[in-house]
A = this chain, B = another copy of it.
Amino acid sequence: MPPEQGEEHKIEQANKRLPAYALRQLIRSSEFTGNTSGYAQGKVQGNIVILPQDWASDFLQFCQLNPKPCPLIGMSSTPGDFTLNDFGEDIDIRTDVPGYQLFEHGQLIKEFTDIKMLWREDLVTFVLGCSFSFEESLIADGIDIRNISENKNVPMYRTNITCKTAGRFRGNTVVSMRPMLAKDAIRAIQICSRFPSVHGAPIHFGEPNLIGIDDINIPDYGDSVTIKTNEVPVFWACGVTPQLALRQSKPPFCITHSPGKMLVTDINNASLAVL
Protein backbone atom coordinates (compact mmCIF):
# COMPACT_ATOMS: atom_id res chain seq x y z
CA MET A 1 0.00 0.00 0.00
CA PRO A 2 1.18 3.59 -0.61
CA PRO A 3 2.82 5.28 2.41
CA GLU A 4 -0.06 7.68 3.08
CA GLN A 5 -2.53 4.74 3.13
CA GLY A 6 -0.22 2.88 5.50
CA GLU A 7 -0.22 5.95 7.74
CA GLU A 8 -4.03 6.16 7.65
CA HIS A 9 -4.29 2.49 8.50
CA LYS A 10 -1.94 2.96 11.48
CA ILE A 11 -4.03 5.87 12.77
CA GLU A 12 -7.21 3.82 12.32
CA GLN A 13 -5.74 0.92 14.27
CA ALA A 14 -4.56 3.27 17.01
CA ASN A 15 -8.00 4.93 17.20
CA LYS A 16 -9.67 1.51 17.45
CA ARG A 17 -7.69 0.91 20.62
CA LEU A 18 -8.72 4.24 22.21
CA PRO A 19 -10.93 4.12 25.30
CA ALA A 20 -14.49 5.33 24.69
CA TYR A 21 -13.88 8.68 26.39
CA ALA A 22 -10.80 9.48 24.32
CA LEU A 23 -12.61 8.47 21.12
CA ARG A 24 -15.52 10.77 22.01
CA GLN A 25 -13.07 13.68 22.39
CA LEU A 26 -11.82 13.06 18.82
CA ILE A 27 -15.43 12.90 17.68
CA ARG A 28 -16.29 16.12 19.56
CA SER A 29 -13.49 17.98 17.77
CA SER A 30 -14.54 16.42 14.42
CA GLU A 31 -11.14 14.77 14.08
CA PHE A 32 -13.06 11.48 13.87
CA THR A 33 -16.17 11.47 11.65
CA GLY A 34 -16.26 7.82 10.52
CA ASN A 35 -18.21 4.65 11.24
CA THR A 36 -17.77 3.40 14.78
CA SER A 37 -18.02 -0.35 14.11
CA GLY A 38 -14.98 -2.04 15.63
CA TYR A 39 -14.10 0.93 17.87
CA ALA A 40 -14.03 0.94 21.68
CA GLN A 41 -14.66 -2.79 21.76
CA GLY A 42 -16.55 -4.07 24.76
CA LYS A 43 -18.53 -0.83 25.07
CA VAL A 44 -22.18 -0.31 24.18
CA GLN A 45 -22.85 1.81 21.08
CA GLY A 46 -26.23 3.48 20.70
CA ASN A 47 -28.64 4.48 17.96
CA ILE A 48 -29.73 8.09 18.56
CA VAL A 49 -33.14 9.67 17.95
CA ILE A 50 -33.75 13.31 18.96
CA LEU A 51 -37.31 14.65 18.82
CA PRO A 52 -39.23 17.70 20.02
CA GLN A 53 -41.05 17.13 23.28
CA ASP A 54 -44.50 17.06 21.64
CA TRP A 55 -43.44 14.02 19.58
CA ALA A 56 -41.35 12.36 22.27
CA SER A 57 -44.11 10.64 24.22
CA ASP A 58 -45.50 8.94 21.10
CA PHE A 59 -42.01 7.74 20.25
CA LEU A 60 -41.40 6.53 23.80
CA GLN A 61 -44.60 4.51 23.59
CA PHE A 62 -43.59 3.15 20.17
CA CYS A 63 -40.33 1.88 21.70
CA GLN A 64 -42.10 0.32 24.65
CA LEU A 65 -44.60 -1.45 22.39
CA ASN A 66 -41.91 -2.66 19.99
CA PRO A 67 -38.93 -3.53 22.17
CA LYS A 68 -37.23 -5.90 19.74
CA PRO A 69 -36.70 -3.40 16.88
CA CYS A 70 -36.62 -0.39 19.26
CA PRO A 71 -34.78 -1.45 22.42
CA LEU A 72 -34.70 1.75 24.44
CA ILE A 73 -31.69 1.80 26.75
CA GLY A 74 -32.09 5.37 27.94
CA MET A 75 -33.20 8.95 27.29
CA SER A 76 -32.35 12.44 28.39
CA SER A 77 -33.65 13.29 31.85
CA THR A 78 -35.40 16.55 30.87
CA PRO A 79 -36.21 18.25 27.54
CA GLY A 80 -33.36 20.43 26.36
CA ASP A 81 -30.76 18.52 28.38
CA PHE A 82 -27.89 17.59 26.07
CA THR A 83 -25.93 15.59 28.63
CA LEU A 84 -26.30 11.82 29.03
CA ASN A 85 -24.41 11.18 32.24
CA ASP A 86 -25.77 7.65 32.66
CA PHE A 87 -24.07 6.70 29.40
CA GLY A 88 -20.59 8.06 29.92
CA GLU A 89 -18.31 10.72 31.29
CA ASP A 90 -19.03 14.23 30.04
CA ILE A 91 -21.24 13.18 27.11
CA ASP A 92 -22.66 16.09 25.09
CA ILE A 93 -25.10 14.61 22.60
CA ARG A 94 -24.76 17.75 20.39
CA THR A 95 -21.11 17.00 19.57
CA ASP A 96 -20.21 13.44 20.56
CA VAL A 97 -21.70 11.50 17.65
CA PRO A 98 -19.54 11.32 14.48
CA GLY A 99 -22.42 12.16 12.16
CA TYR A 100 -26.01 13.40 12.41
CA GLN A 101 -28.92 13.52 9.99
CA LEU A 102 -31.55 16.26 10.15
CA PHE A 103 -35.03 15.28 9.01
CA GLU A 104 -37.92 17.69 8.47
CA HIS A 105 -41.37 16.23 7.81
CA GLY A 106 -39.76 12.85 7.12
CA GLN A 107 -37.32 14.21 4.53
CA LEU A 108 -33.55 14.07 5.00
CA ILE A 109 -32.40 17.68 4.86
CA LYS A 110 -28.69 17.60 5.65
CA GLU A 111 -25.89 15.75 7.45
CA PHE A 112 -23.87 17.36 10.26
CA THR A 113 -20.90 16.50 12.45
CA ASP A 114 -22.15 18.83 15.21
CA ILE A 115 -25.71 19.95 16.04
CA LYS A 116 -24.98 22.78 18.50
CA MET A 117 -26.48 25.27 16.04
CA LEU A 118 -29.64 23.13 15.75
CA TRP A 119 -30.19 22.55 19.45
CA ARG A 120 -33.51 23.58 21.01
CA GLU A 121 -34.84 23.67 24.53
CA ASP A 122 -37.65 21.21 23.69
CA LEU A 123 -35.47 18.38 22.33
CA VAL A 124 -35.55 14.91 23.91
CA THR A 125 -32.78 12.38 23.20
CA PHE A 126 -33.41 8.63 22.94
CA VAL A 127 -30.64 6.02 22.97
CA LEU A 128 -31.49 2.62 21.46
CA GLY A 129 -29.39 -0.55 21.63
CA CYS A 130 -27.48 -1.67 18.55
CA SER A 131 -26.44 -4.99 17.05
CA PHE A 132 -22.72 -4.29 17.52
CA SER A 133 -23.14 -5.45 21.13
CA PHE A 134 -24.51 -8.89 20.32
CA GLU A 135 -22.19 -9.40 17.34
CA GLU A 136 -19.31 -9.04 19.77
CA SER A 137 -20.73 -11.82 21.96
CA LEU A 138 -21.31 -14.10 18.97
CA ILE A 139 -17.77 -13.58 17.66
CA ALA A 140 -16.42 -14.24 21.16
CA ASP A 141 -18.07 -17.67 20.93
CA GLY A 142 -16.44 -18.37 17.57
CA ILE A 143 -19.44 -17.70 15.32
CA ASP A 144 -18.57 -16.16 11.95
CA ILE A 145 -20.49 -12.90 11.45
CA ARG A 146 -20.48 -12.66 7.69
CA ASN A 147 -20.93 -8.87 7.38
CA ILE A 148 -17.84 -8.47 9.56
CA SER A 149 -15.69 -11.20 7.97
CA GLU A 150 -16.60 -9.81 4.52
CA ASN A 151 -16.13 -6.22 5.74
CA LYS A 152 -19.60 -5.14 4.62
CA ASN A 153 -22.60 -3.40 6.11
CA VAL A 154 -25.06 -5.95 7.43
CA PRO A 155 -27.86 -6.67 4.89
CA MET A 156 -31.22 -5.27 6.01
CA TYR A 157 -34.71 -5.90 4.64
CA ARG A 158 -38.16 -4.39 5.03
CA THR A 159 -40.60 -7.09 6.16
CA ASN A 160 -44.36 -7.61 6.33
CA ILE A 161 -44.19 -7.73 10.15
CA THR A 162 -46.14 -4.72 11.37
CA CYS A 163 -45.03 -2.84 14.46
CA LYS A 164 -47.59 -1.92 17.08
CA THR A 165 -48.82 1.61 16.44
CA ALA A 166 -48.21 4.32 19.04
CA GLY A 167 -49.90 7.66 18.39
CA ARG A 168 -48.46 9.02 15.15
CA PHE A 169 -45.78 6.32 14.88
CA ARG A 170 -46.41 3.25 12.77
CA GLY A 171 -44.50 1.08 10.35
CA ASN A 172 -43.17 -2.37 9.53
CA THR A 173 -40.22 -4.10 11.13
CA VAL A 174 -36.87 -3.92 9.36
CA VAL A 175 -34.61 -6.92 9.94
CA SER A 176 -30.89 -7.51 9.65
CA MET A 177 -29.70 -10.90 8.37
CA ARG A 178 -26.69 -13.01 9.31
CA PRO A 179 -26.27 -16.40 7.59
CA MET A 180 -24.99 -19.32 9.66
CA LEU A 181 -25.21 -23.08 10.16
CA ALA A 182 -28.21 -24.32 12.18
CA LYS A 183 -25.98 -25.26 15.12
CA ASP A 184 -24.58 -21.73 15.24
CA ALA A 185 -28.07 -20.27 14.87
CA ILE A 186 -29.18 -22.26 17.93
CA ARG A 187 -26.19 -20.90 19.86
CA ALA A 188 -26.90 -17.37 18.57
CA ILE A 189 -30.49 -17.61 19.81
CA GLN A 190 -29.19 -18.64 23.24
CA ILE A 191 -26.59 -15.87 23.42
CA CYS A 192 -28.81 -13.10 22.06
CA SER A 193 -31.65 -14.04 24.41
CA ARG A 194 -29.38 -12.77 27.19
CA PHE A 195 -29.33 -9.32 25.55
CA PRO A 196 -32.90 -8.06 25.11
CA SER A 197 -31.71 -4.44 25.13
CA VAL A 198 -29.75 -4.95 21.91
CA HIS A 199 -32.57 -6.54 19.85
CA GLY A 200 -32.55 -9.87 21.74
CA ALA A 201 -33.14 -13.21 20.03
CA PRO A 202 -33.70 -13.45 16.28
CA ILE A 203 -37.32 -13.14 15.15
CA HIS A 204 -37.09 -15.51 12.17
CA PHE A 205 -34.81 -17.93 10.37
CA GLY A 206 -35.03 -19.83 7.11
CA GLU A 207 -37.53 -19.04 4.37
CA PRO A 208 -37.34 -15.26 3.68
CA ASN A 209 -40.74 -15.16 1.88
CA LEU A 210 -42.53 -15.93 5.13
CA ILE A 211 -41.70 -12.45 6.40
CA GLY A 212 -42.19 -10.70 3.07
CA ILE A 213 -38.64 -10.72 1.70
CA ASP A 214 -38.75 -11.47 -2.03
CA ASP A 215 -35.03 -11.81 -2.78
CA ILE A 216 -32.48 -12.43 -0.04
CA ASN A 217 -29.73 -11.28 -2.41
CA ILE A 218 -31.24 -7.79 -2.76
CA PRO A 219 -31.30 -6.14 0.66
CA ASP A 220 -33.23 -2.88 1.07
CA TYR A 221 -30.36 -1.39 3.09
CA GLY A 222 -26.72 -2.38 3.57
CA ASP A 223 -24.87 -4.91 1.46
CA SER A 224 -25.58 -8.43 0.28
CA VAL A 225 -23.37 -11.07 1.95
CA THR A 226 -22.42 -14.61 0.96
CA ILE A 227 -24.74 -17.37 2.15
CA LYS A 228 -22.68 -20.56 2.11
CA THR A 229 -23.97 -24.08 1.43
CA ASN A 230 -25.98 -25.49 4.38
CA GLU A 231 -26.33 -22.07 6.00
CA VAL A 232 -29.70 -20.59 6.85
CA PRO A 233 -30.46 -16.86 6.95
CA VAL A 234 -31.15 -15.71 10.52
CA PHE A 235 -33.11 -12.48 10.98
CA TRP A 236 -32.94 -10.00 13.86
CA ALA A 237 -35.20 -6.99 14.42
CA CYS A 238 -33.14 -3.99 13.37
CA GLY A 239 -32.60 -0.43 14.56
CA VAL A 240 -33.52 0.91 11.13
CA THR A 241 -37.14 0.15 12.09
CA PRO A 242 -37.59 3.39 14.11
CA GLN A 243 -35.91 5.37 11.33
CA LEU A 244 -38.45 3.99 8.86
CA ALA A 245 -41.28 4.84 11.28
CA LEU A 246 -39.88 8.39 11.60
CA ARG A 247 -39.83 8.81 7.83
CA GLN A 248 -43.42 7.60 7.60
CA SER A 249 -44.71 9.57 10.58
CA LYS A 250 -43.07 12.79 9.39
CA PRO A 251 -42.39 14.78 12.56
CA PRO A 252 -41.57 18.38 11.49
CA PHE A 253 -38.15 18.13 13.13
CA CYS A 254 -36.01 15.10 13.99
CA ILE A 255 -32.32 14.35 14.30
CA THR A 256 -30.78 10.87 14.19
CA HIS A 257 -27.22 9.55 14.06
CA SER A 258 -25.93 8.90 10.54
CA PRO A 259 -26.06 5.16 9.74
CA GLY A 260 -23.06 3.35 11.26
CA LYS A 261 -21.94 6.46 13.19
CA MET A 262 -23.12 5.64 16.69
CA LEU A 263 -22.87 7.15 20.14
CA VAL A 264 -19.96 5.31 21.81
CA THR A 265 -20.78 4.96 25.51
CA ASP A 266 -18.80 3.96 28.61
CA ILE A 267 -21.25 1.12 29.37
CA ASN A 268 -19.88 -2.42 29.12
CA ASN A 269 -21.68 -4.72 26.69
CA ALA A 270 -21.38 -7.42 29.35
CA SER A 271 -23.48 -5.31 31.73
CA LEU A 272 -26.47 -5.65 29.37
CA ALA A 273 -26.72 -9.41 29.96
CA VAL A 274 -29.93 -10.17 31.83
CA LEU A 275 -28.80 -13.64 32.89
Question: Per-residue CB proximity of A189-231 to B under 8 Å, as 1/0?
Answer: 1100100000001111111001000000000000000000010
Q: Is A115 an interface residue (CB 8 A)?
A: no
Contact A206 B182 (CB under 8 A): yes
Q: What residues of chain B lie closer than 8 Å to A183, measured between beta carbons?
A: 203-204
A interface residues, how many (CB within 8 angstroms): 18
Give the interface centre of A189, A207, A210 by most chain B CB atoms within 10 Å.
A189
**Closest beta carbon of chain B to A158's beta carbon, Å:** 18
15 chain-A/chain-B pairs, Cβ below 8 angstroms: A182-B204, A182-B206, A183-B204, A185-B205, A186-B189, A186-B201, A186-B204, A186-B205, A189-B190, A189-B201, A190-B190, A190-B201, A193-B193, A205-B205, A207-B230
Besides the known contacts A193-B193, A206-B206, 10 further A-B residue pairs in the complex with CB atoms under 8 A apart: A182-B204, A182-B206, A183-B203, A185-B205, A186-B189, A186-B204, A189-B189, A205-B205, A206-B232, A210-B230
Give the interface of A toward B (CB within 8 A): 182-183, 185-186, 189-190, 193, 201-207, 210, 230, 232, 275
